[in-house]
Amino acid sequence: MIAEIDVRAVLSRSGCEFHSDLVTRSTGRAVRSGIEAHLQEHPDVSVVVLDFSAVRVLDCSCADEVVAQLLRRSAPGAGGPAAFLVLRGLDEVHADQIDQVLRRQDLALVAEERGGGRRLLGRVGELTRAAWERVARRGSAAAEDVASELACSLDDARDALDELVGRRLVTRAADQYFPLPAA
Partner 1 sequence: MTAVVSVPPSLDERSFEGFATDLAQVPADAARVLLDAHATEWASPFGLAALLCAGQALGDRHGRRALLTVPADRDVAHYWARAGFFAEAEALFELHGAVPRARQPSESAVLLEVTPVRVAADVHRVVDRIQERAAAILTTGLGLEPKATLGFGMALSEACQNIVEHAGTGGWVAVQAYTWRRRLGRRVVVIAAADAGVGFRHTLEPTQAKRFGDRWGDGAALEAALIQGVSRFRDPGRGQGLRGIRNVVDRWGGKIAIRSGTARIAIIPAWDEDVPLKEGLAAFPGAQLQVVVPEAERPAP
Binding region for partner 1 (CB under 8 A):
16, 18-21, 23-27, 56-61, 64-65, 68-69, 91-94, 96-97, 100-101, 104-105
Q: Mention every residue, 6+ apart, whose C-beta is less than 8 A from residue 7.
A: 22, 31, 35, 50, 51, 52, 54, 55, 66
Q: Which is nearer to partner 1, 45 or 71 (CB)?
A: 71
Please identify, using beta-carbon distances, which residue of 92 and 175 lies nearer to partner 1: 92
Buried residues in 143-158 as b, exposed as e (16+ CB within 10 A): bebbbebbebeeebbb
Compute the least distance from the CB of residue 101 to partner 1, in Å. Answer: 6
Give 32 or 158: the residue with its C-beta nearer to partner 1: 32
For the bound state, the minimum distance from the C-beta of residue 24 to partner 1, rounded and expressed in Å, comes to: 4
CB 157 within 8 A of CB 150: yes
Q: How far is the CB of 107 from partner 1 (least distance, A)?
A: 9
As measured in angstroms, the least distance from the Cβ of 80 to partner 1 is 15
Residue 98: Cβ within 10 Å count:
25
